Amino acid sequence: MDRELQSIVDWWASQGVDVPDLPAPVKRAPELKVAGTPNTVAPAPKPKAKTPKTSGDPATLAATAKTLAELKTILDSFDAGALTASARQAVFSRGNPDARVMVIGEAPGRDEDLHGKPFIGRSGQLLDLMMGAIGLNEDAFYVTNVVNWRPEKNRTPTKAEIELCRPFLFRHIALAKPDVLVLTGNVPLQALTGDTGIMRQRGHWRDADVDGTSYPCLPIYHPAFLLRQPALKKDAWRDLLSLRQKLDED
């Protein structure tokens, strides 16, 4: 476990929080040394597409999905332009699709792009720890992203990319039917509410309309942001307690 993550774990433990054990981190490809050149990481081969890429209106395509499996198949074959050109694969979800809590992140990173699952790197370890600290194990929440493909060099998705992927996200929510949505950072906050400013909005419950259904949403700091700004962990803990209270009340 790295120093930043250990710091947060130790702080929560000192406050009496029963923190769970974290899963082992996903191992990255070993570094290769080549004479006369700097160390480089051997790139993972880009998987061959099982079906040809298709284009079309995202809203029309998303509406045809009657199950989560059908939606995943659509995303696997969808041509999202520059997004799919720079990514190895679509990253759909992990966790329990029948869970009451659906956590929505920004976009896949390197580890997620390699393995096809969201939140499995350092920020994913912290997310699991955060959920576990309020009694939510891996079967008690479901995770996806606004954008299902890794933007080149891990850049923030553009507004156009968020708009492109929004119909798929909304269909994902409608099919999973969670009780609450947890929005980690500015990108999901913008996608679900149209607002930005996670520093102001975090911790404040609000409703988001998804295809005619209102979902309670809790904006929180993205775990990756907490790893960079561990001084904000007190705010994060208050937000987690608010989530626990909401679940206990319903």
Q: Give pLDDT, residue 18.
A: 60
- pTM of the model as a whole: 0.83
Residue with tokens 């119909």: 167
pLDDT in tens, 81-135: 999 999 999 999 999 999 999 999 999 999 999 999 999 999 999 999 999 999 9
pLDDT in tens, 40-61: 434 454 554 445 678 899 999 9
180 vs 33, residue with greater confidence: 180
pLDDT in tens, 10-45: 665 655 566 565 555 444 444 333 334 343 434 454
Establish how many alpha carbons lie within 13 A of residue 126's alpha carbon, considering only the half-sphere containing its beta carbon.
27
- Beta-carbon contacts of residue 119 (< 8 Å; ≥ 6 apart): 94, 103, 105, 112, 127, 128, 143, 223
Q: Give pLDDT, residue 34.
A: 35
160-177 mean pLDDT = 97
Q: Give pLDDT, residue 38.
A: 40
For residue 102, the cross-strand partners are 142, 181
198 vs 44, residue with greater confidence: 198
Contact assessment for residue 201 and residue 189, using Cβ atoms and an 8 Å cutoff = yes
Domain architecture of the chain: domains with CATH: 56-249 (3.40.470.10)
224-239 mean pLDDT = 95
32 vs 224, residue with greater confidence: 224
- pLDDT above 70 for 144: yes
Q: Give pLDDT, residue 17.
A: 61
Give the DSSP H or E segment for 218. Answer: strand 213-220
